[in-house]
Every structure is written in C-alpha cells, then in structure tokens.
Amino acid sequence: MNEIFDQITEMVEEGLYSVVNDPGIVILNILALLVLLFFVRTFLWKKVTAFLDKRQIALSEAIDQADQERQIAKSLQEKSLKEYEGMKEETRQLKDKLTQEAYKEQEKLITSAKEEVKRRLEQAEKDVEYEISQANEDIKQSIKEIAFSAASKIVKREIDQAVHQDIIDEILDEREI
C-alpha cells in the first residue's frame, strides 16, 4: 500500500516539476486561463451575477417577510394575552359580584325569615292574649249566669234583670275576675 502512495507522490512531483520547468507549458496554461476568464466574463458572468442578485433579493424579502410575520405573531400573542388577562379580571369581578349578591340575598332571606318568625310570634302572643281574654269573658259570663241563677232561686221576688246584671257586674269588677 505504501508503494502505491509513493508512486502517486512521485508522479505528482514530476508533473509539477515539469510544468514549472517548462516555460511553454506555463505560458499555455496562462493563455488557457485568460481565454477561460474571457468566456466566463462574456457569456456567464452577467447571468450568474443576475441569478445571485435575484437570489439575494428573494432571500432578503423572505427574511423581511419572516420578520414581519414574527412581529405580527408577537403582537397577536400580546393582544391575546391582554384579552386573556382582561377576561380573567372580568371573570373575577363577575364572580365577586355574584358572591356579594348571593350574600345579600342570603342576608335578605335570613332577615325575612327572622321578621316572619317575629311576626308569627307576635301573632301567636296576640292570639294567646285574645284567647285568654275570651276565656276570661266566658268565665265572667258563666259566673254571671251562675250568680243570676243562684240569686233568682234565692230571692223569689221580682227584681229587674238589668238591675241584677248591674249588681253582678259591680261585684265582679270589685273582685277583678
């Protein structure tokens, strides 16, 4: 393997040595290079530079468009974030408002229930007082009737019932029954 590399190396050295040592080959190479440059410059240079210029412009436009789209995306993201924050705040405020309204409604219901209980208790007290006064009136009436009956049996004389009633009322009022 080393032999192959050595042979290749020798051939390259001989080729380079022969080119540099022979002035005719050097001049031919220079002329070939000048002809090649002339043809490239005349026929290909404008097309290649135009193609490269178009490619550069297209790349610049693509970069500009990408920057614009990135800016638009960034602004949309910021706008969406602001809208999200706004909706979040609005939701929090609505929640707070509904919570306060619920507490107020709860307080109203509690107050209403307390007032209803108080009203019913007062009505019950009035009903009891009325029943007691009714019972007292019934008792007074019963006592009057008993007293009148007893008095009419005891006294068999003719006494006017209105006078007798006044006497019994007077006696009952003195005892405060």
Q: Where are the domains of the chain?
A: 1-174
Q: What is the average pLDDT value for the chain, to the nearest integer?
A: 83
Q: 20-43 pLDDT, tens per residue?
A: 566 777 788 789 889 988 888 888
Whether the predicted pLDDT of 3 surpasses 90: no
The DSSP line for 73-133 is HHHHHHHHHHHHHHHHHHHHHHHHHHHHHHHHHHHHHHHHHHHHHHHHHHHHHHHHHHHHH
Neighbours of 167 (CB within 10 A): 14
Q: 103-150 pLDDT, tens per residue?
A: 999 999 999 999 999 999 999 999 999 989 888 888 888 877 777 766
| Rounded Cα–Cα distance for residues 20 and 41 (Å) | 27
First to last CA, the chain: 147
Given this model, what pLDDT does residue 66 score? Answer: 92
The residue written with tokens 């490619």 in the block is 55
Single-letter amino acid code for the residue at 74:
K
The residue that leads in pLDDT, 56 or 158, is: 56
Given this model, what pLDDT does residue 28 score? Answer: 82
Q: How far is CA 78 from the centre of its chain?
A: 19
The residue that leads in pLDDT, 11 or 82, is: 82
